[in-house]
Amino acid sequence: MNQQNKTPSSQQVDALIVGAGFAGLYMLHLLRDKLGLKVATIESASGVGGTWYWNNYPGARCDIASHHYSFSFSKELQQEWVWSEKYAAQDEILRYLEYVAKRFDLSKDIQFNCRVKSAAFDESSDRWLVTTDRGERYSAKYFIPAVGTLSSANIPVFKDQESFQGDTYFTGNWPNEGVDFKGKRVAIIGTGATAIQVIPEVAKQAAHLTVFQRTPNYAAPLQNEVLTEAEDQQLKANYDQLREASWNSFAGVPFPKLKGSALDDTQEQRLAHYEELWQDGGFSLWIGSYQDILYDKAANETLADFIRTKIRQRVHDPKIAEMLCPPKGQTYGTKRQPCETGYFETYNRDNVTLVDIKRSAIKEFTSTGLRTSDQHYEFDSLIYATGYDAFTGSLFKMDITGRGGLPLQSHWAKGARTYLGLSAAGFPNMFTITGPQSPSVLFNMPLAIEMHCEWIADCIAYINGRGLATIEAQATSEDDWLAETKQIADATLLPEASSWYMGANIPGKPRVFLVYLGGGQQYKEIIEKVAADDYSGFRLS
């Protein structure tokens, strides 16, 4: 290994990982314990958990079932951990990740409360020079951001925002000690997946809750339930089959098998099918209904209409129900379907007001609240549930520069582009776990992470084993992968939506589809073939 380094005070490591969520933890385990490498991990939080550390807002819960949303790499771990609910709440997932860190003795190699300030590829040494906000310098052969896809806050800008004198919260950076809203007038901006979890919980506590909604959402019930120990044991008894079915599925969870075209069934048959999936809960409706739901507008509208009917049945005031119903033309499922528990019924409460800010836009903030084009709203506390600068936000914050000092921002000026979601041309030995143009968020995340971490560890073993210095995506491979990802996405209705999958939620962000939509199973075959073909599409030196 090349130990040359221009900054003698740097700590020399084989790999530097950023982040200690699911991805960082498993990457550290593989590189340190399987490959025997010297690894440093940098984490900005004071503990492990990543997304599940930061998102401890009221109601935070996973919408993938617990027995799937967990690591599969250790059969012992799978058997030891007992899940108490079908869909685990944030605190249970955090406890699980803390347990993982302890069980595999990971924390001793994680530097907490520390941020990467810059990461620059040094062509003279073929190493990454990384600096942190605590003044440390690292020299690493491999640089592995494991920073999550949804970790950089999107806080919209409003006129006189800073004049508001009350408390302000962002769901993705919730105070560890929690917030007591008892007796408070609370406002929330946003009605996406996060807000749909927060709103029912805050409404139960607050004196009054005002919800500022720009776009209504097609949410479906989560149908969470408590798991008995016997049920947990029963699921674990079949873990091998469960995991095999997941790996061989489109989304990393064996959802119900899709029927053919929605338009081939009668209205009665369709409604019966939708009702069954609605009762099944979670993403069954989204991923498991008909093959053409996400491809054909007429098919899509049948399901959109089914959900509108459900909303109207659940919300007592017809005017409020209409505000909550996404209008015709807003396709279902082209944004990630939020899963809800009592969300729509929350609007039947006397202490909840829904404000349509598409009709009457937010004009300005004041010291006591905000003013829309219609009226002034007063509140004591404001919650932003306004989402994330997905995929690229957290990478850009680290000031990453590749060959020739090229900033990643410049390389991605027209939108993120990668080869396989793992590597960017001009950024040798840098691997993005669940990066742009990989299945990532449209595959069961812990398994998507395992798939990537294992591929990266194998790749590093290959490079080190042959005494090579670098591996780097070829520019043409990047072009081809971007084109393939686009072609697959363009066949669906998804790119038309103003979603974070397209970067469309961030003003000025280039619109590029950021997820590989060919399915995790197909993707896994592709990356395994690339590895088997001696890393075809990469340049090795």
**Site residues (CB under 6 A) for ligand NAP?**
61-63, 150, 156, 189-195, 197, 214-215, 336, 357, 385-388, 441, 500, 505
For the CB of residue 116, give the shortest distance to ligand NAP in the complex, in Å. 23
SS3 142: strand
Task: Rounding to the nearest 10 degrees, give the CA dihedral for residues 351, 357, 361, 363.
Answer: 40
CB nearer to ligand NAP: give 12 or 360.
360
CB nearer to ligand NAP: give 57 or 181.
57
Q: How far apart are CA 443 and CA 149, in angstroms?
A: 12
Q: Which helix (H) or strand (E) holds 370?
A: strand 369-372
For the CB of residue 55, give the shortest distance to ligand NAP in the complex, in Å. 7
142 DSSP β-pair partners: 15
CB nearer to ligand NAP: give 7 or 161.
161
Indicate the DSSP class of residue 232: H
CB nearer to ligand NAP: give 157 or 226.
157
CB nearer to ligand NAP: give 170 or 462.
170
The two structure tokens encoding residue 32: 């340190």
CB nearer to ligand NAP: give 194 or 429.
194
For the CB of residue 189, give the shortest distance to ligand NAP in the complex, in Å. 5
Rg (CA), the chain: 24
Count the residues in the chain: 541
CB nearer to ligand NAP: give 54 or 143.
54
For the CB of residue 159, give the shortest distance to ligand NAP in the complex, in Å. 12
187 DSSP β-pair partners: 210, 382
CB nearer to ligand NAP: give 156 or 342.
156
Residue type, 259: K
Q: Dihedrals φ, ψ of 410, to 5°?
A: -70, -45
Q: How far apart are CA 250 and CA 439, in angstroms?
A: 9
54, 174 contact by CB (below 8 A): yes
The two structure tokens encoding residue 92: 């249970």
Contacts of 359 (CB under 8 A, 6+ apart): none
CB nearer to ligand NAP: give 192 or 503.
192
For the CB of residue 160, give the shortest distance to ligand NAP in the complex, in Å. 15
CB nearer to ligand NAP: give 388 or 535.
388
CB nearer to ligand NAP: give 335 or 417.
335
For the CB of residue 115, give the shortest distance to ligand NAP in the complex, in Å. 22
For the CB of residue 445, give the shortest distance to ligand NAP in the complex, in Å. 9
For the CB of residue 17, give the shortest distance to ligand NAP in the complex, in Å. 23
Residue ranges of alpha helices (H) inside 32-159 are 51-54, 75-80, 90-103
110 DSSP β-pair partners: 41
For the CB of residue 462, give the shortest distance to ligand NAP in the complex, in Å. 33
Helix H, strand E, coil C: the string for 441-474 is HHCCHHHHHHHHHHHHHHHHHHHHHCCCCCEEEC
Helix H, strand E, coil C: the string for 272-298 is HHHHHHHHHCCCHHHHHCECCCCCCHH
- Compute CA distances 419 → 123, 161, 209, 424, 470, whole Å: 21, 40, 45, 6, 16
- State which residue has the least CB distance to ligand NAP: 192
For the CB of residue 136, give the shortest distance to ligand NAP in the complex, in Å. 32
Buried residues in 367-398 as b, exposed as e (16+ CB within 10 A): eebbbbeeeebebbbbbbbbbbbbbbbbbbbb
CB nearer to ligand NAP: give 96 or 142.
96
For the CB of residue 217, give the shortest distance to ligand NAP in the complex, in Å. 7
Number of H helices, E strands in the chain: 17, 19
SS3 361: coil
For the CB of residue 321, give the shortest distance to ligand NAP in the complex, in Å. 18
